[in-house]
Amino acid sequence: MQIIKSSIRGDHYHVGDNVTFFVAVTDASYAGPVVDPTTISVEDIIPIGLRNIQVHGQHWHISVSDQSSPAVIDAQFNGSDPLLPGGTLPALTISGELTHDAVPSLTDTATVSVPDDSYTDNNTVSYTIYVKNQHHNNNNNNNNNNNNNNHHNNNNNNNNNNNNCNCHHGRGFGGVPGLPLTGGDPFASAIRDVNDH
């Protein structure tokens, strides 16, 4: 016997996403048939990080220890047809919503058992997904950073204005030392003269 595990949307998710795992049990092509398939059972262990757990599978009798992980899923096959070499039983689907406890990763482990299985190295499989925090948290952080940057820029502009004001008063109107603020601006007059010619 061997067991295969995968997920419907790959292995990268965010908190709040729904994830669906598939568990498939096959009889290796080099093995003999399983005449009584009701002896086949699967145990799936889900660590903390998944809630609203739902499990389905045709011809499987399923029990779930808890709707929120950590949880243990026990599934016993109740079909009647023998499982032939190379054949696969109907898949189990395990779905739920990812919580913050799943960050940064969640590893789901499943094991298949059958009496008189002489080769058990491929009876256990683990599947890891990688989970990040929700998108809007990152956006909020970016907005806060932008607001902080704008605040610093405003402070810098105010400082520049103050510096310009101090220079203006120090040199007099038009940048000429000693020229009263109410007097004419020689630079402006020179510009007008050039424009007139």
The DSSP result for 62-115, as a single string, is: EEES-SSSSEEEEEEE---S-B-TT-BPPPEEEEEEE-GGG-SEEEEEEEEE-T
Pairing of strands 2-7, 60-64: unpaired
Split at pLDDT 50, 70, 90, the class of 40 is very high
Burial bucket for residue 185 (CB in 10 Å: 0-12, 13-18, 19+):
middle
Average pLDDT over residues 14-25: 97
Q: Which of 54-58, 146-150, 180-184 has the lowest mean pLDDT?
A: 180-184
In three-state secondary structure terms, 48 is coil
- 150-197 pLDDT tens trace: 444 445 444 444 444 443 443 343 433 333 333 444 334 333 443 444
Q: Which helix (H) or strand (E) holds 137?
A: helix 135-171
Q: Which CATH architecture has domain 2-132?
A: Sandwich (2.60)
| Eight-state DSSP code of residue 39 | G
Q: Are 27 and 112 in contact (CB under 8 A)?
A: no
Q: Are 110 and 3 in contact (CB under 8 A)?
A: yes
| pLDDT of 168 | 40
Q: What is the pTM of this model?
A: 0.67
Q: Are 46 and 71 in contact (CB under 8 A)?
A: yes
Work out the percent of the chain whose per-residue pLDDT is above 90. 56
Residue type, 169: H
Rg of the chain over CA atoms, in angstroms? 36
